[in-house]
Amino acid sequence: MTATTDATRRRFPDGFLFGAATAAYQIEGAAFEDGRRASIWDAFTRVPGAVTGGDNGDVACDHYHRMPQDVALMRELGLQTYRFSTSWARVRPDGGPVNPAGVDFYSRLVDELLGAGIKPWLTLYHWDLPQALEELGGWTVRETSDRFTEYALSLHDALGDRVTTWTTLNEPWCASFLSYTGGEHAPGHQSVAEGLLASHHLLLGHGQVVRELRARDASLDLGLTLNHTVADPADPQNPADVDAVRRLDGQFNRWFLDPVFRGSYPADIIEDVRAVDAAAVARFEAAVQEGDLEVIAAPIDTLGVNYYHGDLVSAEPPATPPVSGAPANARPTRSPYPAPDGLHSVERGLPRTAQNWEVQPEGLTRLLRRIWDDYAAAAGTVLAVTENGAAYDDAVTVLDAAGGGGVRIDDADRAEFLRAHLAATLDAADAGVDVRGFFYWSLLDNFEWAWGYDKRFGIVHVDYDTQVRTVKHSGHEYSRIIRDRAL
């Protein structure tokens, strides 16, 4: 599957899908309507200092009530596929029986998408664990993997006749280490042992669901989505910096890629963590039961690759620390890495987004090539860029009556970010990577987790007071690219 180039434009491969992505808690609102009950994010947003501005997802983009209009907007943009997540707290509130009203919402969404000629791309878990299950131990206990499997099969019962692409998890690194070790995300714990346990039980739940869905319907396209970094040494001639890259890559990338594709956790990282917290590793090793890794390594059809930026890493702290890309909230957090010592980010002068994340398109090309060469090709697994996007401070121009009223959103930086990363995806395709699609994050401005509503990623502007949607310049540019199937 390769791209073609002519004198004026670069064309995308035949069959390449253009889409956008969202997550249930970030856009739906209706937090306690029609039987939905609290998730860990409903609880976490009530913790003082945890979220910028004290924001929460109670209303968000009100997508729950405005879903048909939002699908019509997707059709207007020309999206070929839409990656959305279903809310566990809505479908099986408190981890209990199926809630018919919750399932009905997603059934109607799927019908709207199909009616608009848009392929549904369903993600089962985007971080909204029912709070009642968290109070029983959350992802640190094995039982949650089984409850996750029940939830997944309930959705397949309802949607399996119409949805063919199923993603189990979104970014288990965030759902485990950022959430149970770093404390930046819900449930906000700060424990090395809990992060390790959560990572295993998330992956175990993934493998169980893949096996069960495969047994039900061998034609389904099954997979999961991982977030990745591309780590480079600050000094390639310094063995300590090179080793820092190994440790960062191991704790961010290989910790999830290795068990999924090779049926084992990276032994070097286990020993790195053992050196700083032997008790945590002992708990983790006790939790990995015979046969677990075989389940986790159940073959998948598609690996979703989420990429925002890479990391320049040094074993020693730099004289001038780079600007932080984390929210400056009042609640204390710690490093999400189980073995964080000697991992320091270094400024390299790249452009930055409004979130202070570096803009590094070529990192996406290198990442796709590395995953393809080292993992996916031999497994017969294809790739899709399931998240890529940027937060910028949009320039909003209020138009007078002569200009048609409303507002105009000029976000040239985001449009350029989009073009650059689509080009990077094409570079990977040209190099032989079987990459089947690209999903911009995000369709709508939305609740951006610990950043609240302070940062906007959407190609569609949302006025949170009125819920009016306005397509930004970047949205119009993406629509043009989709129509032309070319850069």
| Strands 435-441, 382-388: pairing kind | parallel
Which residue has 């590793």 as its token pair? 281
347 burial via Cβ count (<10 Å: 0-12, 13-18, 19+):
middle
> Residue 178 and residue 32: Cα distance in Å, rounded?
26
Q: What is the mean pLDDT of residues 4-27?
A: 88
For all residues of the chain together, what is the average pLDDT? 97
Task: Select from 434, 340, 336, 349 the least CA-distant residue to 385.
Answer: 434
- For residue range 336-380, list pLDDT tens digits in order: 999 999 999 999 999 999 999 999 999 999 999 999 999 999 999
Residue 166, pLDDT > 60, answer yes
Which SS3 state, helix, strand or coil, does residue 158 take?
helix
For residue 24, give every residue at least 6 positions away whose Cβ sits within 8 Å of its Cβ, in sequence order, or none: 84, 85, 86, 87, 90, 126, 128
The confidence score (pLDDT) of residue 284 equals 99
Residue 321, pLDDT > 90, answer no
Q: What is the mean pLDDT of residues 134-150?
A: 98
The confidence score (pLDDT) of residue 178 equals 98
| Phi, psi dihedrals of residue 9, rounded to the nearest 5° | -155, 160
DSSP character at residue 246: H
Give bridge partners of residue 306 from the DSSP assignment: 227, 387
Q: Which of 171, 184, 194, 477 is catalytic?
A: 171
- 184 assigned to active site: no
Q: Would you state the structure tokens that stand for residue 339, as one six-digit string?
A: 């073995």
Task: Select from 322, 303, 304 the least CA-distant residue to 313.
Answer: 322
The confidence score (pLDDT) of residue 6 equals 54
Contact 13, 115 (CB under 8 A): no
- 387 assigned to active site: yes
Going from the C-alpha of 330 to that of each of 41, 133, 376, 450, the distances in angstroms are 17, 27, 41, 11
> Residue 230 and residue 252: Cα distance in Å, rounded?
10
Q: Would you state the structure tokens that stand for residue 62, as one six-digit string?
A: 């009100």
Reported confidence tier of residue 3, pLDDT bands at 50, 70, 90: low
For residue 230, give every residue at least 6 positions away whose Cβ sits within 8 Å of its Cβ, in sequence order, or none: 307, 310, 311, 360, 363, 366, 367, 370
Going from the C-alpha of 335 to that of each of 125, 183, 338, 343, 357, the distances in angstroms are 24, 8, 8, 10, 17
pTM here is: 0.97
> Residue 107 and residue 98: Cα distance in Å, rounded?
14
> Residue 77 and residue 117: Cα distance in Å, rounded?
12
Q: Which of 28, 194, 358, 387 is catalytic?
A: 387
- Complete DSSP assignment for 337-353: SSS-TT-EE------B-
Q: Would you state the structure tokens that stand for residue 457, as one six-digit string?
A: 């990623």
Residue 268, pLDDT > 60, answer yes
